[in-house]
Amino acid sequence: MPQSPPGDVGGWFRTALDDAPAPSPRRGWAPAGPDLYGLESPDDDLAAALARLRGRRVLVVTGAGMSTGSGLPDYRGRDARPRSPMTFQEFTGQDLSRRRYWARSTVGWPMFLRAWPGPAHHALTELERRLNLTGVVTQNVDRLHQAAGSRTVVDLHGRLDHVVCLGCRTVSSRRVLQTRLLALNPDMVVPSPSPDGPRGVVGHQAPDGDADVEEWARFRYPDCSRCGGLLKPDVVFFGENAHRPTVEAAFALYERADAVLVLGSSLTVMSGLRFARKAVRDEKPVVIAGDGPTRGDDLATHRIHGRLEHILPRWIAMLDES
């Protein structure tokens, strides 16, 4: 087993759809160059977008840009490295892929537990009190909206703190699985963050550790203790569809809304983009806020550039002033 964490431990939890590789320009949309990051919209633009949202019932769609302030890396942002996500087909079809996934996951889990809601999460819960939100549909699997106190949240891509058996569909706790993983791999060196350490700071991410593949090949992972079936994190992998009841719950929130607010999502994947597209068809205004280009920019009624931990508190201040 590796004596240091196999690298890229920040990436193991971003196997969900939002981590899909950028499609080639010929085949679809891909984020543009780094010059489109770091823009900041002036207050007039922020005020105009806020005016569009006030008095309307608003569905909020969030993505990875929401959680970057919490130490969880955004794999599509300016500093993102190109990488290939593990697909559902690889995970279910290849034992070595599962060994690699669970090895990374075992090392990364303590860091994931330390992630804590950031300023953007807290500001959104405040906006929930000031504006009329129908709910939050998130592409994130980190449960940080719930931790911050958002009341109505649909985890469109599942939740990383749950594990599902592909045989009997039993859902169990990822926290409990960690104990089993460590017991099966007693030589595994897992960083154990100090309970007194600062929350919300995951810390330095190790360099990519693909060279450790021989080590992963020896990693052992358990099967379902009920039926012996394959255990999978209860998140939507690339190549896998979101669960129908979850999608229906998300669209129920959309149907009750008169406007859509997209926060920190590049809308690269269809699961998020379709809310913006449907809103345009239904003539509901779409406000997109975040740093960097999105696939929905040409659909936006208002496009607000900047970091969410700046934009959302500014909106709250504007609501206070008015």
Q: Which is nearer to Zn ion, 80 or 230 (CB)?
A: 230
Q: Count the site residues for Zn ion by CB under 5 A.
A: 7
Cβ atoms of 24 and 30 within 8 Å: the answer is: yes
Q: Which is nearer to Zn ion, 21 or 222 (CB)?
A: 222
Q: Which is nearer to Zn ion, 60 or 224 (CB)?
A: 224
Residue spans of alpha helices (H) in the chain: 43-53, 88-93, 95-114, 119-130, 144-148, 174-184, 213-216, 244-255, 270-281, 308-321
Quick one: tokens of 247?
């999608």
Shortest spacing between CB 140 and Zn ion, in angstroms:
27
Catalytic residue among 122, 145, 157, 162: 157
Cβ atoms of 9 and 104 within 8 Å: the answer is: yes
Quick one: tokens of 195?
């309970």
Burial annotation 297-309 (CB, 10 A radius, 16+ → b, else e):
eebbbbbbbbbbb
Shortest spacing between CB 222 and Zn ion, in angstroms:
11
Shortest spacing between CB 26 and Zn ion, in angstroms:
42
Q: Is 157 a catalytic residue?
A: yes
User: Does 39 contact Zn ion by CB under 5 A?
Assistant: no
Phi, psi at residue 2, to the nearest 5°?
-60, 140
Shortest spacing between CB 103 and Zn ion, in angstroms:
22
Cβ atoms of 276 and 253 within 8 Å: the answer is: no
Of 145-184, which residues contact Zn ion (CB under 5 A)? 165, 167-168
Contact map string, positions 218 to 257, toward Zn ion, x by CB under 5 A: ------x-xx-x----------------------------
DSSP state of 305: E
Of 54-113, which residues contact Zn ion (CB under 5 A)? none
Q: From CA 112, how far away is CA 179, in angstroms rounded?
A: 15
Q: Which is nearer to Zn ion, 172 or 178 (CB)?
A: 172
Shortest spacing between CB 167 and Zn ion, in angstroms:
4
Q: Which is nearer to Zn ion, 220 or 256 (CB)?
A: 220
Residue spans of alpha helices (H) in 11-42: none
Shortest spacing between CB 234 and Zn ion, in angstroms:
13
The candidate with the shortest Cα–Cα distance to 239, out of 26, 93, 125, 126, is 93
Contact map string, positions 186 to 225, toward Zn ion, x by CB under 5 A: --------------------------------------x-
Q: Which is nearer to Zn ion, 115 or 224 (CB)?
A: 224
Q: From CA 110, how far away is CA 269, in angstroms rounded?
A: 28
For Zn ion, the binding residues (CB under 5 A) are 165, 167-168, 224, 226-227, 229
Catalytic residues: 157
